[in-house]
């Protein structure tokens, strides 16, 4: 199989990062997003200050508070997290249509045939990380490798806010030294079993014949044999139905008032029209939306069914959104919600 260029992007403590971004008072203290400890709540994610106490995702909130009595647990805001995720996904699609989201906060990108950044996957990963930092105010870690297995391991290598590149000629040495605990699918039970057999690294795993691994671990033995050699031919599973398209821009100088925001709309709408024109498949626009991030990093998103998808419609949305903050604006985003054209949602709305 021809060599591929795969990037794995993973947001750093995604929900917690957004909470700290939107309320700077939460920074530099143990923080988790999750349920009420008194109501059998569970931790969804936490920042690195909390992780230092042993707090982890999927842990009972009450137990997390025992580990870290000063832990602040805030409720999640899924609509905000989805909004940020969609903006990040839109950045990914500027580099390749081959994007496989794994969750709101991570995705694979196949950039093998991408002409962006002179075809350099490393430069693309660096650029994506910087664009997310500038537009969303959070950090992401990235891994670059010839396959999905190694790209995912690489993205976790230098967390948080890290980048790890595994070149094709480095794969063999990298995998040989890799602990078997790091292999996908090797949980605690399988890891203990491997260790009991004297297998701690992939180099030691390579000694085993394929048939012996199959006998010892069943069908997973085949996967172990391949991973120990850095083999992973899985293609990306591309999400073909998009739910929205958007563009946004962070301004070097804050836009001082509503008039300046409205004056900035035409260039954003032109980019939005170009992105809509590149969509593959049949979609209908259901409603427009606009996002404003103010000088103090608070933000608001406004969308309205029935609002015309025209410059005048976006100007009206901008006016209403600006009235919610009334402060200088550092970022504007414009976009439209989409539905698959095969669904019975009415006539195609006019675009621009």
Active site residues: 106
Q: Which residue matches tokens 């103090």?
A: 296
In order of 252, 262, 312, 318, 330, the CA distances from 265 in angstroms are 16, 5, 10, 9, 13
**In 3-state terms, what secondary structure has residue 241?**
coil
Beta strands 244-255 and 329-340 are antiparallel
- Rounded to the nearest 5°, which phi and psi values hold at 94? -70, -15
Q: Per the annotation, where are the binding residues for Mg(2+)?
A: 10, 105
Q: How far apart are the first and last CA of the chain?
A: 44
CB atoms within 10 A of CB 93: 16
Strands of the chain (E only): list them.
6-11, 31-34, 43-46, 72-74, 99-103, 106-110, 140-145, 163-165, 244-255, 283-294, 299-303, 329-340
Find out whether 107 and 92 touch, Cβ atoms under 8 Å: yes
């Amino acid at each position: 199989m021809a060599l591929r260029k795969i990037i794995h992007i993973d947001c750093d403590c995604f929900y917690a990062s957004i909470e700290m971004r939107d309320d700077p008072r939460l920074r530099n203290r143990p923080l988790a997003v999750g349920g009420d400890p008194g109501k059998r709540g569970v931790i969804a994610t936490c920042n690195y200050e909390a992780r230092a106490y042993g707090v982890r995702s999927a842990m009972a909130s009450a137990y997390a508070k025992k580990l870290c009595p000063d832990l602040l647990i805030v409720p999640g805001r899924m609509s905000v997290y989805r909004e940020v995720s969609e903006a990040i996904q839109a950045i990914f699609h500027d580099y390749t249509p081959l994007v496989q989201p794994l969750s709101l906060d991570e995705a694979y990108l196949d950039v093998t045939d991408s002409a962006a950044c002179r075809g350099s996957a490393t430069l693309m990963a660096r650029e994506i990380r910087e664009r997310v930092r500038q537009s969303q105010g959070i950090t992401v870690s990235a891994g670059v490798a010839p396959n999905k297995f190694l790209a995912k391991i690489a993205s976790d290598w230098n967390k948080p806010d890290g980048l790890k590149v595994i070149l094709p000629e480095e794969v063999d040495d990298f995998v040989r030294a890799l602990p078997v605990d790091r292999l996908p699918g090797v949980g605690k039970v399988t890891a203990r079993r491997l260790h009991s057999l004297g297998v701690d690294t992939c180099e030691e795993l390579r000694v085993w014949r394929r048939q012996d691994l199959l006998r010892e671990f069943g069908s997973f033995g085949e996967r172990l044999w391949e991973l120990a050699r850095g083999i992973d031919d899985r293609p990306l599973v591309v999400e073909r139905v998009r739910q929205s398209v958007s563009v946004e821009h962070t301004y070097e100088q804050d836009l001082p008032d509503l008039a300046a925001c409205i004056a900035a709309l035409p260039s954003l709408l032109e980019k939005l029209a170009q992105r809509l024109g590149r969509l593959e498949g049949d979609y209908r626009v259901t409603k427009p939306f606009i996002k404003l991030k103010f000088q103090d990093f608070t933000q608001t998103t406004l969308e309205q069914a029935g609002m015309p998808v025209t410059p005048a419609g976006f100007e009206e949305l901008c006016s209403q959104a600006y009235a919610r903050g009334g402060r200088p604006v550092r970022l504007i985003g414009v976009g439209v919600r989409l539905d698959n054209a095969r669904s019975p949602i009415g006539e195609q709305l006019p675009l621009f």
